[in-house]
Amino acid sequence: MSIPPQQYPNQPYPQQAQPYGYPHQPHSPQQPLPGPQRPRPGGVLRMVKAAAVVIVVAGALGYYVWDYNTSPTGGKAKAAASASAAAEEAKSHEPEVGDCVKVADPQGEPVPTVVDCASPEAQYTMRELLPGQGQECSSEYDYGIQHYNSRGFDYTMCFTKV
């Protein structure tokens, strides 16, 4: 058997294929062995920048949470103030016997609002609260409002003019 001539100089003679089809490439003295890889230039600076970004984002998030929970004008305080205002508003539309009220939209869907009895806005005084659905105020009263509550407590408010 004869050895075929080399096609390219400095190339080894063809050898048998190694398992999985990879040819064996012996180490040649012209190529140095690969050594440990050196870090790429700017690697430390890149890590410092990434750490700075993480610290800034975490700090901003922490400040937002702190401000939301502790600031008198923050989110938690606003939510509490809004809930308190809503409770006061609802309370102002729930008169008790003896309270003076003004009535908005008396012919449509009346909404009684508690006012001071000495106020010129005062139109009616609540005299009686009749529990149950479909109750009617007697003729001794000037005005009545039926209130239907979604929680099952229905009642009628009976008023006299101020």
The DSSP string of 53-96 is HHHHHHHHHHHHHHHHHH-TTSHHHHHHHHHHHHHHHHHHTS--
E strand or H helix at 157: strand 155-161
Cβ density class 10-35: b for 16+ within 10 Å, e for less = eeeeeeeeeeeeeeeeeeeeeeeeee
Residues 95-113 have a mean pLDDT of 86
21: left (phi over 0), alpha (psi -120 to 50) or beta: left
As a whole number, mean pLDDT of residues 94-116 equals 86
Whether the per-residue pLDDT at 41 is higher than 80: the answer is: no
The predicted pLDDT at position 61 comes to 94
The mean per-residue pLDDT over the stretch 37-65 comes to: 88
Q: Give phi and psi for 64, each to the nearest 5.
A: -60, -45
Alpha-carbon gap, residue 12 to 7, rounded angstroms: 10
**Res. 16: pLDDT tops 80:** no
- Is the pLDDT confidence value at 52 over 90? yes
| pLDDT tens digits for range 134-144 | 888 999 999 88
Question: 68-86: b or e for each residue (b if 16 or more CB lie within 10 Å)?
Answer: eeeeeeeeeeeeeeeeeee
Give the Cα-Cα-Cα angle 39, 45, 48 (nearest 5 degrees): 120
Residue with the larger pLDDT of the pair 37 and 7: 37
Structural tokens at position 123 = 């139109």
How much is the average pLDDT of 113-118? Answer: 90
pLDDT value of position 3? 65
For 53, the token pair is 């970004």
Prediction pTM value: 0.45
Rounded to an integer, the average pLDDT of 104-133 is 87
Residue 19: predicted pLDDT: 54
